[in-house]
Amino acid sequence: MIKINQLPFVAQPNTLLALNGSLIFLVAVLMSIGVVIIASASIDYAAVNYGDPWFFLKRHFVYLFIALVASVVMLSIPTSFWRQYGWLLFFIACALLLIVLIPGVGKKVNGSQRWIQLGPITIQISEIVKLCGVIFFASYLSNSQYFLQTQWKELFKPLLMLVLLMWLLLLEPDFGGAVVLAITVGGMLFLAGAKLWQCILLLISGLGILVTLVILTPYRMKRLVSFLDPWKDQFDSGYQLTQSLIAFGRGEWFGLGMGNSIQKLLYLPEAHTDFIFAIFAEEYGFIGGLLLLVIFLLLVTKIFMISKKALERGDIFSALAVFGVAILMTSQVIINVGVASGFFPTKGLTLPFVSYGGSSLIITSLLVALVLRIEYDLDLSLVSKGKNS
């Protein structure tokens, strides 16, 4: 149990000043961009469907407040706690994935049963699983790194646990969440010492499973066909992608200007969520979209650098956890932007800190807070060693 005098913000009031200012600044910039573009993208949809043009923006501010409070709590928990009790998160993730599948408990939207309704709050379980997965696999792999490097059979244990989580995600179904989790854990396995041929074999096996799922599932096959040629059926299965591509075309180099998107006027469905990057590109153009991607690049680069710092200091758990956060965020940005621009089939993944979605915003904020806490503990341990020496 963590005593109150062990919490850094109680015992050391200046801890905030010791955190990575540039990382916090980049997250604040992305959150600010999210507020502006959500307000722009959702105003007409909210006015028509809810009678309040600021409906989604008001809720987004509530989610931002919850995310900040939750982040402060995450920052108060020492890294050693997650290192020691990370294994519990695997069982929590499995339990939540089973609970959400229970009829009447899990909320079904557009054919997917991914949410649990708690009063006015809707929680997307797959987002919680991402957080649990990063911490659990970092804890497991850091404890079994030697065996993973010396006994190739040890690779099957984490893979079986990954397959179980992916299978439960696919039952919802949440294909995008399963793919992101697989990419994240695969990257962590490689950093933990898995051989290159093992990772390549894992990649080929994963691709084979995904292709099989697409072929055997009619609605996924339909999505793939519409993705390959959205204009062939632009008023049905290809409608969302064609409208997204039109938004990119309208934006040209410098965009139509803030609030001047045409596709948000009920042409592009759910423009404030998964396809918000298309609206952003329409209003701010190719240059604006490129600058947004540069901000994400700077953010994940900073996170990768913290992972490298942990690895150089021999803290394997911290290195794996931070690396997992970086891989997860990178893959989610690539897939979201790729879907909006027609490079990948449609998947229900948000753009971190920018898309509307409470669960995504809160969990992504918690992941960044975990990275900040890990870096703080790394620096604290270095100072302690300096004093002792």
pLDDT tens digits for range 11-44: 344 455 456 788 999 999 999 999 999 999 999 8
Question: How many C-beta neighbours within 10 Å does residue 217 have?
Answer: 15
Residue-level pLDDT at 131: 95
Looking at per-residue pLDDT, the higher value among 149 and 203 belongs to 203
For residue 3, pLDDT over 70 is answered with no
Does residue 223 or residue 103 have the better pLDDT?
Answer: 103
Percent of the chain with pLDDT over 90: 46
- The confidence score (pLDDT) of residue 4 equals 35
Task: Tell me which of 229 and 181 has the higher pLDDT.
Answer: 181
For residue 385, pLDDT over 90 is answered with: no
- Considering only 190-199, 216-225, 348-357, which range has the smallest mean pLDDT? 216-225
Whole-number mean pLDDT of the chain?
A: 84
Mean pLDDT value of segment 166-182: 87
What's the confidence (pLDDT) of residue 8? 44
**237 compared with 46, residue with greater pLDDT:** 46
Range 105-115 average pLDDT = 80
Specify burial of residue 339 (Cβ count, 10 A radius: 0-12, 13-18, 19+).
Answer: buried
In this predicted structure, the answer to whether residue 99 has a pLDDT above a threshold of 50 is yes
If one counts every other C-beta atom within 10 angstroms of the C-beta of residue 347, the result is 18
Model confidence at 245: pLDDT above 70: yes
* pLDDT at residue 119 is higher than 60: yes
What is the structure's pLDDT at 11? 36
Identify the band that residue 9 occupies on the pLDDT scale cut at 50, 70 and 90: very low
| Average pLDDT of the segment spanning 263-285 | 90
pLDDT digits (tens, 9 = 90+) for 141-150: 988 776 666 6
